[in-house]
Structure 1
């Protein structure tokens, strides 16, 4: 297990020394008016995806790259010095519309120099920026770099709660983190209780005018919901593309005759969707092959929040489970 201790920058050491020297020279002189002191910090330890981390709580200069954390940081009024605005959509204008927040771009064409220029104390990497971890560590020796994104092969919802818990430690918001985790547990339990245990369910992902199959129990967004609620899949087969969905014909969907359909519209998250994109509800409602499927006939099609593909955070899943609870109860 690797241990990454807190690093104190040379600039910080010089600043501390200068302050001590100045205080010894001023004697009893009246103190000058100064900026408000930052929140008190303590040494904390936790384990991220690369090992044990030791750092000071309440860092002042934070870079966040993992989409799972933006909503929580925004709710907690945590300012950022840089963020990947190219993959944040219009969900967090506090960050994306603020010109003082450096733009790291996207994970496909990241501008890591923006991070260096921001002189961060903490970099929350991972998720789409997971491959940049080593570069972030090498380029920012005075920063603590962490990756707390959900790990492959682990339960997505426990991982999101782990992420909340760690953020609570870092920003001294442990009570708020516990509330987020409890809300997710409650939403899952309520949705599971509302489901009748037998109705077949189909998971779909739409993008660029196409309907794709979301395999039960795998991948992101729709897949993990099946495991959490013990849903009966209308088609039970492994995923070929767990992130973006697998090719499937509308005839195959119709043949499976699902009582419920759960749909993620990937394009809805972006202000400039892919060419040829069609809203998911129009695709499904306009399909001749699907018009007699029970889910369509009974209006039992659940559409994820339009921003879900961008967020995928603990708040988004909590809302989804609450939405499913209400739909199951109303059926």
Structure 2
């Protein structure tokens, strides 16, 4: 079990109220004593994060969040943050990025870990892009619980998102809200799976800087994880070399595979690209080599919400599966 010094120890706080009521009537005193049952509330919860078992405070007062997967959930649950990596949050969560009281931890490329120390957190939700800073963060913040809940690469993405949201539900006393998000995700997966014709092939692509990259089934960034979840049949089945940005692929190779469906992540649409922006739709439909591909010719190209690259959370995947389900259903 991982326990950090200075952390709350999980003591139960017992509250016992005893009320003594005295009433006098015609020279006689009648005393009644009421003793309601003692109530208890846990101040900590024991959870299993990416590193093992750790005790964390319930409803922590000072929270630092570094993992993009959790910003949408925390903002919707009205969780205040004392520090966050504003550089990599885009304009999706202005409640945090526009608040000067929320200290800026910078980006994972140039992290400002001193901002975390200054924030004096009870809880740090690290991981994902900040995974390499884990040892430094834990060493520099001995009085905080530092946890990482980001999806692990060797696990099913849906199961990992469920694990993450259920743990957050425990920590922030929002278990009913977490259950609702899990139900919505499961429903979207079921809808997409039932609408899919397994005889139709799919290829995942990522566009950035005006170029097209390949997102490998299972191991490819974002889209690759959708293949095992929905049981999609890959038009091109190669392992990923670059799991973050996609692998080089020629439009001729895509045309030769002739996928029935193309699912595209427009990486630059999130605002992270440099130079002049060209949308994924312009790149795909503007390619002469791809014009005869079934997916393009029959308008069976699914473009992820541009914000997907920044969030990749349970809400984003739910919306994607709903989008895929609708597209598959309309083509049936």
TM range (shorter): 0.7 to 0.9
Does 1:42 pair with 2:43? yes
Report the counterpart of residue 61 of structure 2 in structure 1: 60
Deviation at 1:151, TM superposition (A): 1.3
Report the counterpart of residue 169 of structure 1 in structure 2: 170
CA 1:2–1:121 in 2, change beyond 3 Å: closer, same or farther?
closer
Deviation at 1:3, TM superposition (A): 4.3
CA RMSD of aligned residues (A): 1.5
Report the counterpart of residue 34 of structure 1 in structure 2: none
Does 1:112 pair with 2:106? no
Could you report, residue by residue, the CA deviation over 1:218-261 in whole angstroms, capped at 9, with x for unpaired residues? Answer: 13310011111111111111111111111000011011111100
- Quick one: distance in 2 between partners of 1:309 and 1:226? 17
Number of aligned residue pairs: give it: 300
- Quick one: distance in 2 between partners of 1:122 and 1:41? 16
Does 1:330 pair with 2:330? yes
- Quick one: distance in 1 between partners of 2:159 and 2:2? 23
Does 1:284 pair with 2:284? yes
Map of 1:233-244 to 2, 5 A cutoff?
233-244=234-245
Does 1:85 pair with 2:79? no
Report the counterpart of residue 307 of structure 1 in structure 2: 307
Report the counterpart of residue 195 of structure 1 in structure 2: 196
Task: Specify the SS of the correspondent of 2:283.
Answer: helix
Deviation at 1:41, TM superposition (A): 5.5
Report the counterpart of residue 256 of structure 1 in structure 2: 257
Task: Specify the SS of the correspondent of 1:223.
Answer: coil
TM-score, structure 1 normalization: 0.88
Could you report, residue by residue, the CA deviation over 1:259-292 in whole angstroms, capped at 9, with x for unpaired residues? Answer: 100000111111x632254110000111000111
Q: Is the 8 A contact 1:84 1:103 kept in 2?
A: yes
- Quick one: distance in 1 between partners of 2:246 and 2:302? 17
Larger strand proportion, structure 1 or 2?
A: 2
- Quick one: distance in 1 between partners of 2:230 and 2:114? 43
Report the counterpart of residue 295 of structure 1 in structure 2: 295
Deviation at 1:43, TM superposition (A): 2.1
- Quick one: distance in 1 between partners of 2:217 and 2:314? 19
Deviation at 1:315, TM superposition (A): 0.3
Task: Specify the SS of the correspondent of 1:238.
Answer: coil
- Quick one: distance in 1 between partners of 2:235 and 2:299? 17
Higher Rg of the two aligned structures: 2
Gaps of 5+ in 2: 10-40
- Quick one: distance in 2 between partners of 1:250 and 1:303? 17
Q: Is the 8 A contact 1:200 1:258 kept in 2?
A: yes
Task: Specify the SS of the correspondent of 1:129.
Answer: helix
